Structures are given as C-alpha cells and as structure tokens.
Amino acid sequence: MLTVRKTCHFHAAHILDGHAGECCNLHGHTYRVTVEVAQRNDEKGDMVIDFHDLKKLLAEFVEAPFDHAFIYDSTSSSESEIAGFLQQRKMKTASLPYRSTAENMARYIFQLLRKEINVIAVRVHESDDSSAEYRYQGE
C-alpha cells in the first residue's frame, strides 16, 4: 500500500471543563496535525495524492476553522458561554461536539477529511512530545 503524509500547523486556545488538572484553565497550543493518506485498493499508479491538493484540503478543513480560534465543546454549557462571549466580540471560535482533547480533535479531523480523501490516520500534536492519533481500522 502506498501512503503519503502532510503536516500543517495552527494556533488555538481551549479549556477542558471539569478536568482535574491545569487544563481546566484557558490555555493555548501550537498544534501540529499530520494526515496520512493511502492509495485506494482499486487505484493504480505511483501517486497517492498531489501534495499541493492535500495542502489545500488541510488549509480548508483544519487551518481555516481552527487557526487562532477558541475551540470549545458545544455540549458544555460553560464552554459554550465563553464561546458566546467571544462571538459577541467578533472573535473566532470553533465548536466540537465533544471535549477538545487531542484525541477527540484527531477523530474529528479524520471524520471531516474521510469524506474528501482516503485518509487512514490523523495525528494531533499539542506539543513536541505529546500527540494523539486516530487511525482507520477497517469497517
């Protein structure tokens, strides 16, 4: 199987409402997202996807919605309240249907990109030495 990987970066803030550690406070990360794409079984050739095309997809589905945004859990009333306050002031927010952990962000980005390309893994780094990955396991 042929695969390729492409990485993008974005800066964002979030909180983990109800978390017992320091992440219950508003804080930010310089996120690094790496997407792995595979050639479909029925495809032949020596290119999985043009890197330029993959870069455009990452810009549209990852960087544009998340860069310099407050990422929040839309099921949390307190996080939604903070997001509402920011939105009233024309500040950028991005909602997830669950907590904004690296694990959930990897899953969310995977699900978005899966509709567009044959993505098999998404890794989200919150720092140089901490990451989470969502990987396709077959249906």
DSSP 98-117: S---HHHHHHHHHHHHHTTS
pTM of the model: 0.93
The residues annotated as belonging to the active site are 23, 68, 126
The whole-number pLDDT of residue 40 equals: 80
> DSSP strand E in the chain: where?
3-14, 27-38, 69-73, 93-96, 119-127, 130-135
The whole-number pLDDT of residue 96 equals: 97
Q: Which of 56-60, 97-101, 134-138 has the lowest mean pLDDT?
A: 134-138
Query: What does pLDDT average to over the chain?
Result: 94
Q: Pick from 34, 44, 60, 43: which is nearest to 116 by CA?
A: 60
Strand, helix or coil for residue 41: coil
Name the pLDDT band for 139 (thresholds 50, 70, 90): low
**In the β-sheet with 69-73, what is the strand arrangement from edge to edge?**
93-96, 69-73, 3-14, 27-38, 119-127, 130-135
Domains, the chain, ordered by start? 3-135 (3.30.479.10)
CA–CA distance, 127 with 29 (Å, rounded to integer): 7
Count the Cβ atoms, other than its own, within 10 Å of residue 120: 18
Most confident range, picked from 38-42, 47-51, 64-68 = 64-68
